[in-house]
């Protein structure tokens, strides 16, 4: 199947008892058995639920993986990956990292004797320089949050090859419509399914997709033993969202480009960070690794003033000032005060997450209305 067909039909089957085209929401905790240990494939919904199974099969299909798993949040999915590791293992992570991921790494898992090294992945040789015999995981975001840096997935995979190192990619911003890390050699793909996969700002969910069945089974055991599963109703919502993923992300990308070009020409704007602009330092990588460039745009003010960013964000009307991203509606965010507040100020400054940085999640409204809203907010 091609991608537009996969999001609707990939891994999916009509419900066997009734022929229902849509998978029912199986609101059950347990399942009847014919004899002790003899059942229809379902015993207890923490282990497996038919609605969640349908979503997990869809996730595996659209990312070209062997096993999909659905979690109660994106952070629950990341937590599952880290539980593959043992005390003393080392993780190399991209330095421009979602604030919740950074918080989990440094404030939760460091105390269990995991070591985290944060590196600028612009140059793959910098990763190779810090790999040791204790390195067991390389954690990638591309594009990164919120500075829209790109990571060459193939180059990272090449560094890990033959070294017993897993490569995991947070593919939340790009989605499998724009980028499929498993096809580029990654072992695990993670999504905050709250964002583009769900697509309607009405569910909190996470996802993992494993490249091979053996790794998928290890992750499933951790999910089952830890219990961070996604409930059946939320699974239904994400599965429904996936069916329109291709249409939505194409529109997000078209509007993202229009907004980025507008911002690049605005006299109050200093820097626009969008992979689809030729001014982006990794524009060539974006063209080679991604199908299109998505709906996430960040920018700074020529004044460099935090007050100008706050004033702008207080005046938007079509854009909504809110956390999160990836929904059909456009959102605006101040990373330093909102999504990345958990990162220490000195670390934010080192990365370039300045107090005048604004991150936009460009929705699927009419681009003309979005640009008019931005123009009013600048005035």
Contact 58, 236 (CB under 8 A): no
Contact 74, 191 (CB under 8 A): yes
If you average pLDDT over residues 274-293, what whole number do you get? 98
DSSP 11-32: T----TTT--SSPP----SB--
Contact 134, 115 (CB under 8 A): yes
Residues 324 and 295: their CA atoms lie apart, in Å, by 13
Cis peptide upstream of residue 146 (ω within 30 degrees of 0): yes
The whole-number pLDDT of residue 341 equals 87
H and E: helices and strands count for the chain: 14, 12
* Sheet arrangement for strand 67-71: 67-71, 206-210, 188-192, 166-170, 135-141, 90-94, 115-119
If you average pLDDT over residues 291-301, what whole number do you get? 98
- 342 pLDDT band, cuts 50/70/90, is confident
User: What is the percent of the chain where pLDDT is above 70?
Assistant: 100
- 123 pLDDT band, cuts 50/70/90, is confident
State the chain's mean pLDDT as an integer.
Answer: 96
Residues 364 and 158: their CA atoms lie apart, in Å, by 37
CA 67 to chain centre: 17
Whether 90 shows a pLDDT value over 90: the answer reads: yes
Q: Which of 111, 146, 142 is nearest to 282 (CA)?
A: 142
Angle formed by the axes of helices 245-264 and 367-378, nearest 10°: 40
Whether 339 shows a pLDDT value over 90: the answer reads: no
Whether 56 shows a pLDDT value over 90: the answer reads: yes
Give pTM, 2 decimals. 0.96
Give the active site residues.
Answer: 46, 98, 170, 195
How many CB atoms are located within 10 Å of the residue 214 CB? 11
- Coil, helix or strand for 359? strand
The whole-number pLDDT of residue 16 equals 87
Contact 125, 159 (CB under 8 A): no
The whole-number pLDDT of residue 343 equals 85
Residue predicted with more confidence, 122 or 138: 138
Residue predicted with more confidence, 260 or 97: 260
If you average pLDDT over residues 322-326, what whole number do you get? 96
- 293 pLDDT band, cuts 50/70/90, is very high
pLDDT digits (tens, 9 = 90+) for 224-258: 999 999 999 999 999 999 999 999 999 999 999 99
The whole-number pLDDT of residue 276 equals 98
Whether 137 shows a pLDDT value over 90: the answer reads: yes
Whether 125 shows a pLDDT value over 90: the answer reads: no
Furthest C-alpha separation in the chain: 73
Whether 50 shows a pLDDT value over 90: the answer reads: yes
Whether 174 shows a pLDDT value over 90: the answer reads: yes
pLDDT digits (tens, 9 = 90+) for 20-35: 999 999 999 999 999 9
The whole-number pLDDT of residue 124 equals 84
pLDDT digits (tens, 9 = 90+) for 6-20: 999 999 999 988 999
The whole-number pLDDT of residue 170 equals 98
The whole-number pLDDT of residue 180 equals 98
- Coil, helix or strand for 167? strand
- 40 pLDDT band, cuts 50/70/90, is confident
Which domains, ranges and CATH numbers included, belong to the chain? 3-241 (3.40.640.10), 246-378 (3.90.1150.10)
Cis peptide upstream of residue 143 (ω within 30 degrees of 0): yes
Contact 235, 194 (CB under 8 A): no
Whether 52 shows a pLDDT value over 90: the answer reads: yes
* Sheet arrangement for strand 331-333: 269-273, 296-301, 358-361, 331-333, 320-321
Helices of type H across 10-110? 50-62, 74-82, 99-103
CA atoms within 13 A on the CB side of 133: 0
Residues 30 and 45: their CA atoms lie apart, in Å, by 6
């Amino acid at each position: 199947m091609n991608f537009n067909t996969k999001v609707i039909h990939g891994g999916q089957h009509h419900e066997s008892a009734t022929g229902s085209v849509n998978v029912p929401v199986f609101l059950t905790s347990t399942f009847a058995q014919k004899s002790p240990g003899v059942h229809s494939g379902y015993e207890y919904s923490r282990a497996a639920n038919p609605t969640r199974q349908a979503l997990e099969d869809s996730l595996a299909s659209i990312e070209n993986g062997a096993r999909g798993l659905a979690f109660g949040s994106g952070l629950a999915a990341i937590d599952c990956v880290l539980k593959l590791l043992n005390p003393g293992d080392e993780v190399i992570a991209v330095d421009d990292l979602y604030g919740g991921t950074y918080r989990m790494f440094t404030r939760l898992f460091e105390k269990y004797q995991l070591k985290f090294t944060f590196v600028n992945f612009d140059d793959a040789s910098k990763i190779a320089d810090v790999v040791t015999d204790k390195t067991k995981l390389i954690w990638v975001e591309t594009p990164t949050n919120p500075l829209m840096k790109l990571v060459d997935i193939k180059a990272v995979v090449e560094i890990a090859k033959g070294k017993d190192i897993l490569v995991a990619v947070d593919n939340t911003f790009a989605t499998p419509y724009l980028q499929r890390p498993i096809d580029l050699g990654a072992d695990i793909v993670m999504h905050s399914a709250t964002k583009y996969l769900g697509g309607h700002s009405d569910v909190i969910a996470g996802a993992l997709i494993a490249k091979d069945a053996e790794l998928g089974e290890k992750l499933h055991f951790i999910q089952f033993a830890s219990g961070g599963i996604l409930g059946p109703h939320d699974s239904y919502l994400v599965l429904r969202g996936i069916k329109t993923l291709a249409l939505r992300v194409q529109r997000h990308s078209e509007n993202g480009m229009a907004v980025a070009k507008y911002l690049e020409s605005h006299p109050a704007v200093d820097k626009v960070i969008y992979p689809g602009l030729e001014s982006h330092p990794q524009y060539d990588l974006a063209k080679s690794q991604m199908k299109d460039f998505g709906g996430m745009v960040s920018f700074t003010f020529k004044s460099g003033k935090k007050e100008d960013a706050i004033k702008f964000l207080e005046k938007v009307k079509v854009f909504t000032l809110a956390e999160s991203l990836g929904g059909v509606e456009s959102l605006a965010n101040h990373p330093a005060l909102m999504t990345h507040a958990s990162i220490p100020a000195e670390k934010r400054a080192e990365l370039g997450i300045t107090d005048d940085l604004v991150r936009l999640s460009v929705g699927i409204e009419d681009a003309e209305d979005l640009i008019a809203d931005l123009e009013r907010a600048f005035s």
